[in-house]
Amino acid sequence: MDQFRDVDGGWAWVAMAACFVGNVLNGFLNYSVGIFHVALLEEFQEDVATTAIVGSVYAGLYSLFGPFVSMVVNTTSCQTALMIGAVLTVLGFSSCFFANSLSTVLFTYGIIAGLGSGFCATPILIMTGYSFKKYRGIANGVVVCGCGIGMLGSGPLSQYFIDTYGLRGGFLMMGAVACHLIVCAALIRPSGAEGWHKKMRQESEDASKKCVQVRSILDPSLYKNHAFLLILIAGFGWNVAYAIVLLHLPNFSVVLGSSKAEAAMLLFVIGVGSSVSRVFGGLVTSNEAGIDPILLKLGVLGITGVLTLLFPFYSHIYWQQVIFACLFGIYSGGLIAFTVPILIEIVGLSKLSAAVGALYFMYGIGWFVGPTVAGLIIDHTGSYDIVFYVTGAIFTLASVLTLLSTIWRPKDVNVDEDDRFVASVLFKDSNFLTGSMLLTGSTNVMLDFRASTMNMSHSSKSLGPYSSYRSVRMQSSNRSVNTQEKVPLKLSRLAIDNGESAPLTVESVSEI
């Protein structure tokens, strides 16, 4: 099998374009929940809390199903997973056309379309990594921008669909938009790299007794890390608050006297601010000067909390709502860009994938809890002001928890060099995204346990001799210090690169 077929050229560019469009479509569908929340309230005349459950389930499943979708990708392919997601999304939105009750909409829109949306997100990111090596950073940057572009149009366009065709017609139009995801899935045919790494994963499972795995999804040591637990709770908190704003802000604006089109435009403004902030946040956290991402996050959360807490005092004029939406998009968008750099600093690269999975799971729970609880408050008090007071307080509490996490900030990983180091590295899951630091999967280091020894993090491993050496970077877990040590690397016949030297960042190893 040619592992370099359609990598960095050929069909890879078509796959990148398809992934970009897929991310635009997925972002468009996901960020329309607030607009449909307003329409569902008017159509079915249910209380705010009950109606909010629909959007909460849809958006929550987007995050919760990430780990399961990764398993589907490993078992089948990115194309298969995306096709499943596209079909479920189309089926869910289109079925809403026939819904006569809110419970039916909950099943079709919330559950079916929500599952489809979750299935679409993961393979799009992973496929980009499979298709590129040399241009991986550029490709990932282009693809991730798609979600922001989709967010820009979600508010105005979804409101236009509802105004023109009614609620049921609007759902049908969203299903028509989702149909294009099927085309995207058809275009991301498996590359040679995807097939080759699937074969290697199977071989590594057969040789598991000789395998040292860098991370385990259920590694108990991850949850004994006090700093990570605080980041996990803070992540849950800020997603509770974030979900409340995105779902309830449009209806709050309508209650204050704005038109539905004006309310939808607020989501567009949030999208603009968020897109700019994501790009800027990524640039700042990748700065080689070592700007502390935890410090940035606690500052941004604190500012977002103050803005939200004070919003009821300056929300009665529409242009003031626009200012809030712009500032909220700028600061909340940056939080997403800080996620991976913070986790690298707290848990290290070896457990990054497990940490990302756990954090996004908490994000999904936050989406389930936030809008529904806010709806209960609105139903019992009749006021949105209290909701924004509580939301601002939650943002602020998340900032405090982030600050407290620095108390247990891990120290630098100490690595003792041994010039008789390793064999080869197998990447699987979404580990191909390492170059862009968007999402990292598991890494297997295949070893031949014989005569030589490596000492890493005070743990010795016996490693076999190899004929050639290669230098790699061993990066400290404390990214703000940004220290590096040179460690020699030996390559075996399983080496993934094409005979060219490539840096590899490793933290620690543990035996299966």
User: What are the DSSP calls for 453-511, one per residue?
Assistant: EEEETTEEEEE---S-EEEEEEE-S-TTT--EEEEEEE--TT--SSSS---------EE
Identical fold for domains 1-197 and 220-412, yes or no, is yes
pLDDT at 296: 85
Share of the chain above pLDDT 70, in %: 67
Fold of 1-197: Growth Hormone; Chain: A; (1.20.1250)
| Domain 220-412 falls under CATH 1.20.1250.20 | yes
- The C-alpha atoms of residue 214 and residue 440 are separated, in whole angstroms, by 12
pLDDT at 432: 31
Share of the chain above pLDDT 90, in %: 37
Please tell me the least confidently modeled range out of 44-58, 103-117, 178-192, 259-273.
Answer: 178-192
**Is pLDDT above 70 for 188?**
yes
Mean pLDDT of the chain: 73
**Is pLDDT above 80 for 122?**
no
pLDDT at 146: 80
Supply the DSSP symbol for 431: G
pLDDT at 293: 80
Which range in 3-12, 94-103, 136-145 is most confidently predicted, on average pLDDT? Answer: 94-103
Please tell me the least confidently modeled range out of 155-159, 395-399, 464-468.
Answer: 464-468
**Is pLDDT above 60 for 191?**
no
- The residue among 350, 386, 59, 396 whose CA lies nearest residue 225 is 350
Residue 13's pLDDT band (cuts 50, 70, 90): confident
- Residues constituting the chain: 512
| Greater model confidence, 229 or 2 | 229
Residue 282's pLDDT band (cuts 50, 70, 90): low
Please tell me the least confidently modeled range out of 142-146, 230-234, 497-501.
Answer: 497-501
pLDDT at 464: 35
Task: Determine the Cα angle at 109 with ends 238 and 23, to 5°.
Answer: 65
pLDDT by residue (tens digit) across 233-242? 999 999 999 9
pLDDT at 319: 94
pLDDT at 129: 65
- The C-alpha atoms of residue 244 and residue 52 are separated, in whole angstroms, by 9
- pTM of the complete model beyond 0.85: no
pLDDT at 343: 79
**Is pLDDT above 60 for 368?**
yes
**Is pLDDT above 50 for 454?**
no
**Is pLDDT above 50 for 327?**
yes
Kindly tell me the sign of the dihedral angle through the C-alpha atoms of 391, 393, 397, 400.
positive
Cβ(17)–Cβ(139) under 8 Å?
Answer: no
- Dig out the tokens for 338 from the structure: 């800080």
pLDDT at 145: 75
Residue 415's pLDDT band (cuts 50, 70, 90): very low
**Side-chain half-sphere of 494: how many Cα atoms within 13 Å?**
18
Could you give the maximum distance between any two Cα atoms of the chain, in Å? 77
Residues whose CB falls within 8 Å of the CB of residue 205, separated by 6 or more in sequence, listed in order: none
Residue 87's pLDDT band (cuts 50, 70, 90): very high
pLDDT by residue (tens digit) across 291-314? 778 888 889 999 999 999 999 999
pLDDT at 336: 72
**Is pLDDT above 60 for 12?**
yes
Residue 507's pLDDT band (cuts 50, 70, 90): very low
pLDDT at 413: 36
- The residue among 62, 368, 335 whose CA lies nearest residue 244 is 368
- The C-alpha atoms of residue 217 and residue 223 are separated, in whole angstroms, by 11
pLDDT by residue (tens digit) across 161-171? 999 999 999 99
pLDDT at 7: 66
Domain chopping of the chain, boundaries: 1-197, 220-412
